[in-house]
Structure 1
Amino acid sequence: MPTTSNKKEAWSRIFAAAERIRKMKPWKWMNETDIFGIKIPGTNRIYFISVMGSLGEVTAITAYMGERALQMFWELQDEDPAYLSSSFSATSRIFTIPQVMLDFVDEENLEPEQIKSIKNFGGKPSKDKLWPVLEQFVPGFMPGEPDEQVLNDAAILLEQCPCIFEKAKEDEDFIYVGDDNDNRYLIREIKESSTTEWQNVYKEIWVEPVKYNIRFPSINLTQLKNKRKKQETLQIDLAMLPSPVQEGDIKPYYPFILLLVNKKTGIIQDFYMLSPLPDLETMYESIPEKLLDMFLESNYVPTQVEIRSEILIVLLTQLLDRAGVILKKPEQMKAMDEAIAGMVSHMGKM
């Protein structure tokens, strides 16, 4: 952990930069998809900056942590609007993207403990009682105070952002390359010949496909192939539940649910609770075996399944192929949406 003095220095820089950004109001001329990068000096870490607030719902600066997080952001943007119209679905996806966010929050929406923490590190509200709140999003966990590295990185990011905001205000095309290469981004970085002088360059950003370690017992696969097939379509989805769980000293996390719903009847066929422990990737890798167990415990295997989640398609294609189950990706999954909404509503009343 950083020493108290170093931590206070980082927070002091963050709050000073946050106030400058708040006064600039870059969300008046920039959109969420006007993405640019900032490279942390002396490292290979690049954060991709997104300005939120053009629609007036929230005013915030988000820094997506690395190339994979950037890809996840664009995947979210490319989703069917009908799918994302559910705040539950949208929130679920946002909380799985590693990021650090500076949000300007109305005092009425903050807990007394949050205000006290901000004050302890020198933070102050604006005249209209908006407090600067900086939080790190670890996939699957409740947002919270950034760790040492991210805190120090955030100070650099927020100090450099206004340089881009000002130029983008003067020239709305500044952050764009001017060609059709969607993989090229404006990156702000330290010059190689300097330790203090920054420059803006355009670079191609490529993301290596995520490779998951998927394993399941061969004996179980044999049993699955011998299972009775039933002419039926099941919808499969993975949803993050909105109520966090606290276990001992572990950081509060959001539980996930792997859900199987009968498309025709809307009946929940089966479900399995999952936790993002020790991390979200490990949880993802466990899903194929969990689904295999769910199929084996059932009286039959469906002839067809519908999956809309790209991550689930990647994880489950091999298993479904071996089981001889047809995989379809529909535009909508109404039965699943209703099942998830009903389950969340029920849990909210408990």
Structure 2
Amino acid sequence: MEPSVTQWKHLYEAAAGFKRAGCWDWMTSGHLFGVANPANGEIGYCSIMGNGGEMFGMAVYLGTEGLETFVGMLTDSLGEDPLYAQYCLMLSFDDRKELYPQELKQIKELGLSFRGAKSWPTFRFYEPGFLPMPLASGEQVDFLTLALQQALEVARSYRDDPDALLEGEGESILTRTALPSAGGLDWASEWLEPKPVEESSIPTAEPVDELRLAKIKRKLQGRAGVWEIDCFYLPMPIKEKGERPYYPMACLIVDQGTGQILSFEFIEKSEIANKTAALFLNVVEQIGVLPDEIWAVNERVFMYMSQMLHAFDLQAFMTLELPALQEAKEGMIQYFENGNG
């Protein structure tokens, strides 16, 4: 359901209070804490931005899936541009020119005014594979409002020692939880470990035809070299009628020794597991050779390829860099950024 005028007013008030408090003066983005959504129990993991003096606001990473992308960014192990991977609600204070027309209209209708650089609040929903967009539901607006209010409670409580937020036992994170009361909600702090990621959220390829596999194996002429494989988003958002703008994906296989692109294909996100496995199998079938090793920077590639790895007894390695593939990938991205395609 679309947010009401009252819900928007409460969110802008929470954003204004958050900005006045200037929590980023003593909190860094690494001082993570959680806020449990009273509506559904999902925990949003909050990161206050602005200590570095560049971007001011707060991101609320949704559930363990969102938390993992945040940790990947902190440790530089995400394997892809955060723009395409983040799963969060975000408040940021930006320049007027960065707002959508509907946001400027909304601010005017609410009787609000903002002046100066980095002074205009924007509220965005980031979802992997989609263009970040303004909040569209009352549930999102309500949760971000609560998260900002609870962020002030946490920041003020830990002002003298924000590093205490890093001292939870094991993987536990300080989390604000609420129980209904006669006066609304009673909030308290608990140290809770994130829930495990559901395995069903990681796609796997459908079983491959065993007869086809057997035929391919009989025709193999040996093994040669290292193949680098990656699946990634392309910076060319597509808007289809009635749908949110999204980033298309590509899968690329490159021979490390020669730099030759062995195969690539544009992929619908929902088909990524099947298409990645099929692309690899097609290459093997066409050239009649297996790689000595497969390299990838994203563990999910190996999940998509699990049947192929098992069927051909392939050696697979995670790495921080794919030297040959990166060059081909950069050329492809540049091609699309220049308006081709």
Report the TM-score, using the length of structure 1 for normalisation. 0.85
Is the contact made by 1:39 and 1:187 (CA closer than 8 Å) also made in structure 2?
Answer: yes
Question: Equivalences for 1:86-97 in 2 at 5 Å?
Answer: 90-91=80-81, 93-97=82-86
Equivalent-residue separation in structure 2 for 1:121 and 1:287 (angstroms): 48
Q: Match of 2:193?
A: 204
Please state whether the residue corresponding to 1:183 is helix, strand or coil. coil
Please state whether the residue corresponding to 2:224 is helix, strand or coil. strand
Report the TM-score, using the length of structure 2 for normalisation. 0.87
Please state whether the residue corresponding to 1:60 is helix, strand or coil. strand
The alignment covers a number of residue pairs equal to 333
- For 1:33, the aligned partner's letter is G
2:235 corresponds, among 227, 232, 242, to 242
Question: Equivalences for 1:217-228 in 2 at 5 Å?
Answer: 217-218=208-209, 219-226=211-218, 227-228=220-221
1:56 corresponds, among 40, 53, 57, to 53
- For 2:155, the aligned partner's letter is F
Change (3 A) 1:126 1:207: farther
Q: Match of 1:77?
A: 74
More off after superposition, 329-338 vs 71-80: 71-80
Instruction: Please state if 1:187 is matched with 2:175.
Output: yes
Is the contact made by 1:234 and 1:305 (CA closer than 8 Å) also made in structure 2?
Answer: yes
Is the contact made by 1:259 and 1:268 (CA closer than 8 Å) also made in structure 2?
Answer: yes
Shift of residue 112 of structure 1?
4.4
Write the deviation string for residues 76-125 of structure 1: whole angstroms up to 9, x where unpaired: 33335xxx7xxxx652x442232111111112434545433443455532
Alignment gaps of 5+ in structure 2: none
Q: Match of 2:143?
A: 153
Equivalent-residue separation in structure 2 for 1:27 and 1:291 (angstroms): 47
Q: Match of 2:98?
A: 109
Equivalent-residue separation in structure 1 for 2:180 and 2:8 (angstroms): 28
Equivalent-residue separation in structure 1 for 2:260 and 2:111 (angstroms): 53
Is the contact made by 2:205 and 2:305 (CA closer than 8 Å) also made in structure 1?
Answer: no
Shift of residue 20 of structure 1?
1.2
Equivalent-residue separation in structure 2 for 1:107 and 1:62 (angstroms): 20
- For 1:239, the aligned partner's letter is F
Please state whether the residue corresponding to 1:196 is helix, strand or coil. strand
Shift of residue 75 of structure 1?
3.1
Q: Match of 1:317?
A: 306
Equivalent-residue separation in structure 1 for 2:53 and 2:118 (angstroms): 17
Instruction: Please state if 1:303 is matched with 2:285.
Output: no
Equivalent-residue separation in structure 2 for 1:123 and 1:216 (angstroms): 57
Shift of residue 305 of structure 1?
1.6
Instruction: Please state if 1:45 is matched with 2:42.
Output: yes
Is the contact made by 1:15 and 1:122 (CA closer than 8 Å) also made in structure 2?
Answer: no
Change (3 A) 1:116 1:257: same
Alignment gaps of 5+ in structure 1: none
Shift of residue 186 of structure 1?
0.7
Q: Match of 1:215?
A: 206
2:165 corresponds, among 175, 188, 191, to 175
- For 1:154, the aligned partner's letter is L
Shift of residue 144 of structure 1?
1.1
- For 1:263, the aligned partner's letter is Q
Is the contact made by 1:135 and 1:145 (CA closer than 8 Å) also made in structure 2?
Answer: yes
